[in-house]
Amino acid sequence: MKKISAFSRLRGFTLMETLLAVALVGVMLSIFLTVFVPARGLVRQALTRQESERITGILRAEINTLRGDEMAKDAKVSTPDKYLTTFDKGFYWLKKSARPSSSIVIFSYRADLSKSPRADGSFPPIPAGKSVPGKNMQLVSIACPMDDPLHRNDIRDAVGPVFLVKMTQLKHQKDGVYLKLKNPGVIHEANKPEEFVSEPGKADAWGGVIFCRADFYHMNPPNPARYKGKKWEKLGRPLFSANFSFRR
């Protein structure tokens, strides 16, 4: 009678079987990486593009809106803080972008709808980190100059990332070519803002257009005081850029 030892019953895989198993796993891993990793990259790219378009849309919408506290009532010309038209608002926002400390910020915050609206129609923010169960609130997005006294303190209560925007005028050459001017916030061939901003009753008759390039930076930390005296060169490369225009 043949005896079977315990050692024979516990025998493992042979070298050939192990190599075949490793090869099979390698083939399956290669198929997974080929099929699924590019798909994930495309989804991530689409989400990034969608977010950049949303942020750019916030800037465009805000430039094309005159809030109650921005209107230059009974004035002959616009000023850096009071505007006769949305074109004038865009003009001065472009000039403010010469320095990070006065440029445009874009952020979202939780608006406290239980409070009375402020002078520009917006609601005050709920302080960051404060519990809001059952609170009558709404998440809103806004674009404003960093030195805006009404919204400057809202930045500390921002929800999510805060973006800093550098706006630079593009000079139209020919054949669809645009030249990026060296000095941001400078209107080409203009000695005085009054040569470009509107006059009462003439806004509809003017057909001027300004082409811009907006560079969006991640504002980190989101503290306006940390950007006093800084230059754009110190902020590194922008996260993304977009071209747009505004007209009279």
Q: Give me the tens of pLDDT residue by residue for the chain, a chain 248 residues long.
A: 555 555 445 556 676 767 677 777 766 666 555 555 554 444 445 447 788 888 999 999 999 888 888 888 777 788 888 888 888 888 889 888 888 999 999 999 989 888 899 888 889 998 877 766 667 788 899 999 998 888 888 898 898 889 999 988 877 666 655 555 555 445 555 445 455 554 444 444 345 677 788 999 988 888 888 898 888 988 888 888 888 877 76
Q: What is the pTM of this model?
A: 0.70
pLDDT of residue 212: 82
How far is Cα 21 from Cα 28, in angstroms, rounded to an integer?
A: 11
Q: What does each C-alpha distance from 63 to 42, 104, 145, 229, 245 come to in angstroms?
A: 32, 11, 11, 25, 10
Reported as a single tens digit per residue, the pLDDT across 18-75 is 767 777 776 666 655 555 555 444 444 544 778 888 899 999 999 988 888 888 877 7
Per-residue model confidence (pLDDT) at position 213? 85
pLDDT at position 42, please?
Answer: 45
Compute the CA torsion angle 190, 195, 196, 199 (nearest 10 deg).
170
Domain ranges of the chain: 60-247
pLDDT of residue 39: 45
Torsion of CA 209, 180, 63, 234, to 10 degrees: -160
DSSP-assigned beta bridge partners for residue 170 = 180, 211
Torsion of CA 110, 215, 223, 153, to 10 degrees: -40
Q: Is 236 left (phi over 0), alpha (psi -120 to 50) or beta?
A: left
